[in-house]
Copies of this chain bind each other. A is one copy, B any other.
Amino acid sequence: MVSPEPLSDSSNSALVRLRALLDESSFDGEQRLPAERVLAAQIGIGRRALRRALEVLEAEGRIWRHQGKGTFLGPRPARAPTSLDELSKRTHPLEVMDVRLEIEPALARLAAMRATNGDIERLLHLAEKTASSSDADGRELWDSALHRTIAEAAGNSLLLAIFDLVDRIRQDTTWRLLRERARSGNRQQLYVEQHRRVIAAIAQREAHAAEQAMREHLELVRDSLLKVMTSPLPARIDGEIPAKMMSANTKNERHHGT
């Protein structure tokens, strides 16, 4: 068929010659093919023409490229499912807060039921430290330790591992400035009070109260985060917020109908 041909002759010949190279398996055993500059010189075409040909091949899925790494044969390797970087890149802060709202109240409840006296002692100690810490960095450090100690006290190693996973994503670089701005809001005193309430409930073995207190605390944290993110400041973390993911369990009454 004679379709309109946007590519020039030389580009086209480059594509043909590249396809021939790939088909002949001229790079036997070699997953990686030469750098663009080298390859262009070998074939005897310009780098620009070569790149257009490579674009086609990449769109076809026959090769894949990555800046700084090179060009490789075969389909793009699947992402490691639990690779922290990948996961944190494609995870939105509000998603993380939703997950924390699902997990940490449960952790607090379990901690209230199963914490040892030693756990409770450590929690009380941490609460003091958090309150007495003056600078923001120190507060965040002790706060993190506090939440994790509760997770430990829950006595479920898998749930603890999940907590760590979420926490690692939360502490990723992208969030740094976000948290700095979030904690500028002077809610620190309220946070301290909420922490105290959670710990008290755990110490008194009141599972439901611990769960509820933790949920209220995290809801406040999320609202604070939300406020920061929707603030008129032009510097947004990420342009797109998937519509599905929008936080939706502030008051999750039953949805009837529609």
Contact = CB atoms under 8 A, between A and B. Distances in A.
Interface of A: 28-29, 31, 74-75, 77-79, 81-82, 84, 87, 90-91, 95-96, 98-99, 102-103, 106, 109-110, 112-114, 116, 135, 137-138, 141-142, 144-145, 148, 155-159, 161-162, 164-169, 205-209, 211-212, 242, 244-245, 248-258
B255 A206 contact: yes
Given A74-B145, A250-B257, A252-B257, 13 more contacts: A74-B142, A78-B144, A82-B165, A87-B161, A91-B157, A96-B158, A99-B156, A99-B158, A102-B102, A102-B103, A102-B159, A158-B169, A208-B252
Nearest to A78: B164
Given A81-B168, A158-B169, A164-B81, A209 B252 contact: no
Given A75-B145, A84-B81, A113 B252 contact: yes
A interface majority secondary structure? helix
A88 to B, nearest CB: 9
A40 B128 CA distance: 31
Contacts of A82: 81, 84, 161, 164-165
A252 B109 contact: yes
B252 A256 contact: yes
A33 B104 CA distance: 33
Contact of A205 (B81, B168, B206, B258): B258
A115 to B, nearest CB: 9
A155 B145 CA distance: 30
Report copies per complex: 2
A248 B114 contact: yes
A168 B78 contact: yes
A122 B84 CA distance: 29
Contacts of A206: 254-256
Given A138-B74, A145-B75, A166 B155 contact: no
Given A99-B159, A113-B252, A29 B135 contact: yes
Contacts of A245: 155-157
Contacts of A257: 205, 249-253
Nearest to A119: B244
A148 B29 CA distance: 23
Nearest to A209: B254
Nearest to A86: B161
A256 to B, nearest CB: 6
B255 A212 contact: yes
Nearest to A149: B75
